Structure 1
Amino acid sequence: MLATSPAQRYETVLVAGAGDVGTRLARRLAVEGRRVFALRRGETPAGDGIVWLRGDLTRPETLAGLPKIDALVFAPTPDAREEAAYRAVFVDGLRHVIEALPVMPHRTVFVSSSAVYGEHGGDWIDEDTQPSPPGFNGRVLIEAEAWLAAGPVGGVSLRLAGLYGPGRTQLFDRLREGKVAVPRGRQVYANRIHVDDAAAAIACLLDIAAPERVYIGVDDTPLPIDELYDHLARLIGAPLPPDGPAPAGVGNKRLSNARLRATGFRCAWPDARDGYAALV
């Protein structure tokens, strides 16, 4: 069924981990007239038609009094790139927030990552490809996905590719400073999705009938890294990056969004070259 004609619209949603993507999603849902709660650990803003809550996913005692909701979006960000921090947030934190809810949600969307996939020599990858995470982050996410899928909370995992968009322009700075190298002529691919498209994809998966357990969230156009970075360098008037090794711990692959597109979802920015250009 197309996302534009959902079988079920969940009217009360909690976004647990309302960082950049989560806040964009919460605002989108509020504009649609839904009752939206957004949970974050730090200071909470006001307005936007969102009910802001404060709590720490790693400390279950701070999650007391969560509201009754129809659907949950779990989209936290660890505060350190360490296995213990990832496990505390994605495995324990997911369990803590679900156990703190007064009733089980009908739909839970877990914001995961394409880090669960490893090296594939530039081949196309989809949701049926066996995960082979090269790092602890991917391994922890797979564990959290499996826990969610085994539970009674309508679990759906969205494995997002590399995010870019407003406020995520560090790559421009690195290009200007000459701190970027690319594997030239070796067809090593970059996979990206604009932050607004990521939020829209989560919103889509909240409502579609009979979703699959896993989706890949990526735009329509995987690009060789040298082609993408050369394009960005020309956009900002920076020198073209020199030849160098591929990014470590990522793996060369082309991610397919065919399953997500089959829901009726379409990226507003199907090609990262255009999405980045809009940021300049």
Structure 2
Amino acid sequence: MAKILIAGCGDIGCQLGSLFSEQGHTTYGLRRNIEPIPDTITPIQADLSTSLPELPKDLDYVFYIASAGKYKDSAYYQAYVSGVKHTLQALKGQTIKRIFFISSSSVFGQSEGEKVDENSPTTDSNFSTKRLLEGEELILNSDFNSTVIRFGGIYGPGRTHLIDLVQDGKAHCMEDVWSNRIHSEDCAGMLAHLMNLDIQQPNTLDSLYIGVDNQPSPSCEVYDWLAEQLCVPDVEHIEPKESSRQMRSNKRLSNARIRGTGYEFIYPSYQDGYQKILDALE
């Protein structure tokens, strides 16, 4: 069984650690506030933005799942650059088999509905993508085997912002703009799958995976479907605006590489995932 560190043990980290515990692995979860960490994960109270305390010895795998608390450059720098540096420094001398770094599909700059895979070019046109790419580079150029996972829009229990907007009549969507999503359970499931695959077939993983479900979908289709399920009026459709964040995210992401490893999605489409949430809300 493996010894695993989850640096930045938030929602997805706790789900992932719980999966590992069920599989018999020993898991440590590092975060500032350790109260939310379940009993099956050994907590480590520390702040990634500062020098870290001594970490457990003989770790096999590390998952770096930090998030920026605010949408500002200093927060992104602390989460994805200085936090990575502090983690790598604290891991010196250990023989880690692989580090997994959780990034974002926002680093892909395509915005005209293009099909995108792991070989598509990225852009550092704003501070958030610049810091994410800096963190990726630090991990990939470290002394450890490493893999980067770029997740699309994450939704799931506790991540119901879109449902709330549609329910409250505050949502609008842009015509002909594509969106890409992944349920938080599949985020954890995909990460656990990759680690277990590395255990079974050491050093065969690629250095980069896109994490989205099987169904890139026009944003308006998703909004309209939610409105129908919630029995509320149709969502307002508006013309695309170049300055919109939705427009900047207009691309169709491929998950062919992760599916090629044998991973089967728990929620292969947004309908599958959102229906589970809606049922639970009832």
TM-score, length-normalised on structure 2? Answer: 0.90
Contact 2:8 2:65 in 1 (8 A): yes
Q: In 1, distance between residues paired with 2:235 and 2:113? A: 21
1:248 aligned residue? 245
- Pick closer, same or farther for the CA change 1:130–1:46 going to 2, 3 Å: closer
2:160 aligned residue? 169
The code of the aligned residue for 1:237 comes to C
| TM superposition outliers: structure 1 runs of 4+ over 4 Å | none
Q: In 2, distance between residues paired with 1:81 and 1:113? A: 14
Q: Which of these residues, 73, 96, 109, is aligned with residue 83 of structure 1?
A: 73
Deviation for aligned residue 1:135: 2.8
Structure 2 gap ranges (5+): none
The code of the aligned residue for 1:230 comes to D
Q: In 1, distance between residues paired with 2:37 and 2:164? A: 31
Q: Name the SS for the 1:266 alignment partner.
A: coil
The code of the aligned residue for 2:106 comes to A
Contact 1:181 1:245 in 2 (8 A): no
Q: In 2, distance between residues paired with 1:74 and 1:142? A: 14
The code of the aligned residue for 2:55 comes to L
Query: Residue 95 in 1 paired to residue 85 in 2?
Result: yes
Q: Which of these residues, 14, 18, 28, is aligned with residue 23 of structure 1?
A: 14
- When structure 1 is superposed on structure 2, of 199-208 and 220-229 the one drifting more is 199-208
Q: Which of these residues, 162, 165, 180, is aligned with residue 191 of structure 1?
A: 180
2:271 aligned residue? 273
2:142 aligned residue? 151
- When structure 1 is superposed on structure 2, of 13-22 and 168-177 the one drifting more is 168-177
Query: Residue 111 in 1 paired to residue 109 in 2?
Result: no
Q: Deviations over 1:116-157 (max 9, x none)?
A: 012341121000001124432112111111111111211100
Q: Name the SS for the 1:182 alignment partner.
A: strand
Contact 2:109 2:121 in 1 (8 A): no
Q: Deviations over 1:149-173 (max 9, x none)?
A: 1112111000000001111112111
2:47 aligned residue? 56
Contact 1:159 1:217 in 2 (8 A): yes
* RMSD between aligned residues: 1.6
The code of the aligned residue for 1:206 comes to M
Contact 1:45 1:52 in 2 (8 A): no
The code of the aligned residue for 2:126 comes to G
Q: In 1, distance between residues paired with 2:69 and 2:222? A: 29
Q: Name the SS for the 1:108 alignment partner.
A: strand
Identity of matched residues, %: 34
Structure 1 gap ranges (5+): 1-9
Higher relative contact order (CA 8 A, sep 6+): 1
Deviation for aligned residue 1:181: 1.1
TM-score, length-normalised on structure 1? Answer: 0.91
Q: Which of these residues, 103, 113, 125, is aligned with residue 122 of structure 1?
A: 113
Count of residues in Structure 1 that have an aligned counterpart in Structure 2: 267
Q: Name the SS for the 2:143 alignment partner.
A: coil
Q: Which of these residues, 161, 170, 173, is aligned with residue 179 of structure 1?
A: 170
Q: Which of these residues, 5, 24, 42, is aligned with residue 14 of structure 1?
A: 5
